[in-house]
Each structure stands twice: as C-alpha cells, then as structure tokens.
Chain A
Amino acid sequence: MSRLFKHNRKRAAFTMIEIMVGATILAVIGGMVAHWFVMQRQYQSRILAISDAQQNIRQASWNMIQELRTARNLIYPRLNADKSIRSDTKTIFKNFAGDIVCYFHDAATGQIRRCLVPNGPGVPVVDKKPIGSGIDKVAFTAHDVGNRLIGIYLESSGTVGLESVYLLNE
C-alpha cells in the first residue's frame, strides 16, 4: 500500500520538462504582454499629455473668445505699415464696457493672464486666476485693416489650437 502511495504522489507533480516547456511558452507570452503593457503605458501617458494640452487650449481660447467676441475695438496688435499681418504674444482691446483689457503670455509659467486697465481713473488689475495655463506658445495676430479680426494661435505640448475672433461691436 505504502509503496503505491509514494509512487502516485510522484506522478501528481509536474516534470521538469513540462515546467520548462510551459515556462518557455509563458515567457514568450509574458514577454509579449509585458511589451504591450509598457507600450500601452507610454501611449497612455502620451494620450494624457494630449488630453491635458487639448483641455488647456480649449479653456484658454474659450475664455478669450467669450470676451473678445463682444469686444469693441482692437488696439494691439495692428497690421504692419506694409499691410502685412502682425503677431505678438499679447493683445490689448476695449471690451464691451469700454475698459481696456490686456491678455499677455508669461512664457516662464506657461500662463496667459488678463489685466484690466480702467478706461478712466483707477489702477490696472491683473486677474488672480490665469485665463489660460500650460500654454507653450501664443500668437495674437492682427488680420484686417478694420482692427476687428484677431487670430489666436495656441500651442501646448505639441497640440495646436487655431482660432479667430471677429469683434462684433464697435
């Protein structure tokens, strides 16, 4: 009886060759899975970066579009003397209420900030919160003689946003 028991316990285990073959196949599969996983992680972080960049751009451009659309007059930038377009990292315009609003890009922090200059007595105030952040490059471009069309180029981590705003009011 005891002889048989011992004999059968041995048979229940895996042999070296089985484990080796199984392990080899698993290693191949595991390698593929691991490679895929690493790729996915890289891809994922890229996607997250794109997603962040996109949201940064969207937030910044919408904040600016909302105010610019109802603005009255573009003061800076304006077309060059030879009528060529003109870009800058800041823009200045009169808003709906007639006050002077400046948007400017701070390259060091990647923020676009808004400064309200009262069109009358009073001190300029820079908004506490930036109207855009995570922005690498900004170009406000004057496109027309009438100073009513402003192009906005935003770049964040390789993602680009292109907008233009026509100032409806005069």
Chain B
Amino acid sequence: MLTELRQPEAPRKGVAMVMVIGLVAIMMPIIFMLSRIGGSQTQLAVKYHENLVAETVAFSGSNAGLSRLQGNIRGYQDLPDETSGEDKFSLNLRPTGAGFFGQTMYFLLTRARIKTHNYIMMAEAEQFKPEPAPPVLVISRDYWNTVEPYEISLMADVLSMQNYRGMELLRLEETRTFERKSTEQQYKIEMSGKKSSLPAPLQTDWDAMVTALVSEKLSE
C-alpha cells in the first residue's frame, strides 16, 4: 500500500557494510590471537590438572594403603578401588617375604590413572605381627614414584629400586655405628665442628641442635 512508496534502505545497508568490514577487521586478528594464546594455555592447564589429580590420587592411595597396614588390615589383600566413578586408583599389596624379626615385608603399589596420565607409587613396608594381638608396628622403608606407564609388576624394575635403597640401608648402618661407637663428648665435638661450614641461617641455632642430637645419640 502506502508503504510501498518508502524508498529502499540505502544508508542502512551502508551502515551494515561498514560494521561488517569493521567487525571483520577487528575481530579476525583478535580471534586469531586468542585461539593461539588461549588454546595452548588451556591445554597446558588441563594437562597440569590431570597430572596433579593423578599424582594426588596415587599419593592418597599410598597413604591409605600404608595406614591400612598400620591398622593391621591383613588377610584380605586385594584392596578396593577407593573412589567412585571411572577415574580411580588401585592398590596392590605384594608380600615380598619375612624379615629377621618375622615381620612381613610388602611392596605397596598404588596406581592412579586419569585419562592419559598414569601415576604409580611404590612403597616398601614392613609390618610387624601383632604380639600378642593388637599393636601393629609398620615401618615404611621408602616410597618412590613414577609417571611412566610401565608394568610395575616387572621384577627387574622393582629390583633396581631395591638396589638403590640398599645403598641407603648401608649408609644407615654406618651412621648408627658411628653414633654407637662415639662417646657423647666425641660426638658433640664432631657435630659442633661442622658449624663453621654450615650456611648462615643454620649456624645461629646449631649449638642447640647439637645438644638435642647428643641427648638422643644411640649408645651401645
């Protein structure tokens, strides 16, 4: 009708065109930049988070496993998956024999898997049998971990880890012998003599440390 006579919307088209051209000119570089920065940042952040979760879950699992040993939870060794849902960790307790005092020795393996992240922790623990019944002494000898998704049950790997720990055990024997063989005076002189070569923040309280060390020295 009458509206037919209204003339076509030329400026409107012009405005739209200027806007489109401008938007393209502004938006394109921004999108490009964002996708580059944002993309890699997000990826890193996600990867980091997954890794963190896997590691944390494995660590908590290891803690839980050790506390389980301390709680004298024996006789039922295939431990449950501790979390609900598909992302979970599994515990595996492997007895490796009996110790000198008849204590049971274990490898506690904890594996956490979050998407592509695998985290395995292994702890070596000795559980002293309750004598007569309840008190259970558990000594965790060490724990170490790996992010490699390899088969932890491979004995070769376990042995190499053990060998490494063996060195530490030898060193323990050495330090204990030294403490036992030294008199309190000798031990005090030896330890106090190190003060001068200590870094400054440690020197201030060193004498008090030596006193504490001497008082707790092993003796024969």
Residue of B16, B140, B201, B216 near A106 (CB, 8 A) is B201
Q: Are B202 and A102 in contact (CB under 8 A)?
A: yes
Residue of A21, A99, A104, A124 near B171 (CB, 8 A) is A99
Q: Which residues of B (135-192) have their CB < 8 Å from a CB of A? A: 138-144, 168-169, 171-172, 174-176, 178-179, 190-191
Task: Classify chain A: how many residues form its interface, as a range.
Answer: 35 or more
Q: Check B102 for interface membership: any CB of A closer than 8 A.
A: no
Residue of B16, B171, B198 near A97 (CB, 8 A) is B171
Interface of B is mostly: helix
- With both chains docked as a complex, state the minimum distance between the C-beta of B67 and any C-beta of chain A, in angstroms: 10
* A1-41 vs B, Cβ < 8 Å mask (1 yes, 0 no): 00000000000001101110111011001100100010000
Residue of A51, A123, A168 near B194 (CB, 8 A) is A123
A-B contacts counted at CB < 8 A amount to 128
Question: How many residues of chain B have a CB within 8 Å of chain A?
Answer: 48
Q: Check B5 for interface membership: any CB of A closer than 8 A.
A: no
Q: Are A121 and B140 in contact (CB under 8 A)?
A: no
- With both chains docked as a complex, state the minimum distance between the C-beta of B64 and any C-beta of chain A, in angstroms: 14
- With both chains docked as a complex, state the minimum distance between the C-beta of B68 and any C-beta of chain A, in angstroms: 13
Please provide the 5 A-B residue pairs with the shortest distance between their CB atoms, ordered closest to farther.
A22-B18, A98-B175, A18-B14, A120-B178, A26-B22
Residue of B30, B48, B168, B178 near A96 (CB, 8 A) is B168
Given the known interface contacts A89-B201, A96-B168, A98-B171, the answer about A76 and B19 at a Cβ–Cβ threshold of 8 Å is: no
Q: Are A97 and B172 in contact (CB under 8 A)?
A: yes
Residue of A25, A58, A168 near B140 (CB, 8 A) is A168
Q: Check B53 for interface membership: any CB of A closer than 8 A.
A: no
